[in-house]
Structure 1
Amino acid sequence: MHARTPEQASFADAIDAFCRDKTGTRAQRDALTRNGAEAHNPALYAQMAELGWLGVGIPSKYGGSDGGLSDMCLFAERTAYGLAPVGGYITTSVAAGPYVKFGTEAQREKILGGITRGRVEAIAISEPGAGSDVAAITCRATRTPGGFIINGQKTWVSNAHLADHLLLVARTNPSGGRHEGFTMFCVPAGTPGMEIRGIPTLGGKEVNDVFFTDCFLPENSVVGTVDRAWPQLMAGLNCERLILAASMLGRGRRAFDDAVAYVKERKQFGQPIGSFQAIKHRIADLATELDCCELLIYRVAAMADEAPERMLPREASMAKLKTTETAKRVALEGMQMMGGYGYALEYDMESHLRATVISTVFGGTSEIQRDIIGKTFGL
Structure 2
Amino acid sequence: MTDQEDFVRAIGEFCRREVDRKPGVPHDDELYRKLADLGWLGLSLPEEYGGGGRGMADLVLFLEETAYWRAPIGGFATTIIAAAAYEKFGSAEQKQRILPAVANGSVLSISMSEPEAGSDVGALSCRAERDGDTWVLNGQKTWCSNAHFAEHILLVARTTPGEGKHAGMTMFSVPATAGGLAIRGIDTMGGKEVNDLYLTDCVVPADAVVGTVDQGWKQLMTGLNLERMILAAVMLGTARRAFDDTLAYVRERHQFGRPIGTFQALRHRLADHATELECTRLLVHDVARKIDENPEKSLPREASMAKLKATEFAKAMALDGMQMLGGYGYATEYGMEGLLRSAVVSTVYGGTSEIQRDIIGKTYGL
Shared fold (TM-score greater than 0.5)? Answer: yes
Aligned counterpart, 1:20: 16
The 5-angstrom pairing of residues 359-374 of structure 1 reads 359-374=346-361
Aligned counterpart, 1:33: none
Q: Describe the superposition over 1:200-247 as per-residue Cα deviations: whole angstroms up to 9, x where unpaired.
A: 111123100011111111111010110001111010001000001100
Alignment of 1:271 with 2:258, yes or no, is: yes
Q: Distance in 1 between matches of 2:127 and 2:263?
A: 60
Corresponding residue pairs, total:
366
How far off its partner does 1:188 sit? 1.1
Q: Distance in 2 between matches of 1:345 and 1:302?
A: 36
Paired-residue identity, %: 59
Tell me which of 190, 210, 230 is aligned to 2:197.
210
SS state of the match for residue 155, structure 1?
strand
How far off its partner does 1:20 sit? 0.6
Aligned counterpart, 1:90: 77
Q: Distance in 2 between matches of 1:65 and 1:310?
A: 22
- Check conservation: 2:21, 2:70, Cα contact below 8 A: no
Aligned counterpart, 1:317: 304
Q: Distance in 2 between matches of 1:43 and 1:51?
A: 13
The 5-angstrom pairing of residues 188-199 of structure 1 reads 188-199=175-186
Letter in 2 for 1:8: Q
Q: Describe the superposition over 1:8-50 as per-residue Cα deviations: whole angstroms up to 9, x where unpaired.
A: 1111111111111111443xx5xxxxxx3x3101110000000
The two structures have a TM-score, normalised by structure 2, of: 0.98
SS state of the match for residue 349, structure 2?
coil
SS state of the match for residue 144, structure 2?
coil
User: After the TM superposition, which parts of structure 1 deviate over 3 Å for at least 4 consecutive aligned residues?
Assistant: none
Q: Distance in 1 between matches of 2:175 and 2:60?
A: 27
Q: After the TM superposition, which of the residue ranges 341-350 and 57-66 deviates more from structure 2? A: 341-350
Aligned counterpart, 1:357: 344
Alignment of 1:123 with 2:110, yes or no, is: yes
Q: Which structure 1 residue ranges, 5 or more long, are not aligned?
A: 30-35
Aligned counterpart, 2:228: 241
Cα-Cα RMSD: 1.0
Q: Which structure 2 residue ranges, 5 or more long, are not aligned?
A: none
Tell me which of 6, 9, 12 is aligned to 2:5.
9
Letter in 2 for 1:41: D
Alignment of 1:331 with 2:327, yes or no, is: no
- Check conservation: 2:21, 2:69, Cα contact below 8 A: no
The two structures have a TM-score, normalised by structure 1, of: 0.95
Q: Distance in 2 between matches of 1:163 and 1:197?
A: 13
How far off its partner does 1:147 sit? 2.4
The 5-angstrom pairing of residues 1-379 of structure 1 reads 6-26=2-22, 36=24, 38-379=25-366
SS state of the match for residue 168, structure 1?
strand
How far off its partner does 1:299 sit? 1.2
